[in-house]
Structure 1
């Protein structure tokens, strides 16, 4: 099953995850990244690199985040691929702290 980027990515767009993706399935807009479920090979290499725990296997999504499966499937193919780490969005560190995470987690 493919992996899904959820709302924890919004406003941060930490992109540590994109560099380890062997099939370049990440796409992004000005606020976040999405995973193309057709391209994703379910390797899970991206999951431990997300400092805000925004990436889930679609079968493991909490019920309140299940709609992100459809959002990723719709948005990813319409956006440019991201294959290299990007600069953090302004306020990303503060957003990470507000979500209860730190670089030490």
Structure 2
């Protein structure tokens, strides 16, 4: 089992979760983070750190549609090991739903 990042992270990308990950399995896209499920050790320390409540175990029904997305982008986006700055409008996007179409396939910086 692994944890995955879901839709709530899109356009929020707070990165609090990155700081606590003991195996550095987060990867950064332009407006989204993903967890490499092959690297995740299922420790769960990232889940409570996410202000957008976007991280779930892959066994959770909320994560079902996102496991493959996490795997796909973890293979092409840069690894991130330190917390960076969240977008200036992250708080505005935090509680919005229906953001899947806004997911950028572009890698982060």
- TM-score (norm. length: structure 1): 0.87
Deviations for 1:32-85, whole angstroms, at most 9, x for unmatched residues? 1000011000000000000111000000132xx522100001111211111111
Which structure shows the bigger proportion of residues in helix conformation?
Answer: 1
Root-mean-square deviation (Å) = 1.2
Q: May I ask how many residue pairs the two structures share in their alignment?
A: 97
Stretches (4+) displaced over 3 A: none
- The 2-side partners of 1:97 and 1:34 are apart by 19
**Are 2:44 and 1:44 aligned?**
yes
- The 1-side partners of 2:70 and 2:95 are apart by 24
Q: CA deviation at 1:97?
A: 4.5
> What is the match of residue 90 of structure 1?
88
- The 1-side partners of 2:96 and 2:9 are apart by 12
Alignment of 1:13-92 (within 5 A): 13-62=13-62, 65-92=63-90
- TM-score (norm. length: structure 2): 0.84
Aligned CA distance change for structure 1 residues 97 and 54 (closer, same or farther; 3 Å): closer
Q: Unaligned 5+ residue runs, structure 1?
A: 100-105
- The 2-side partners of 1:45 and 1:97 are apart by 22
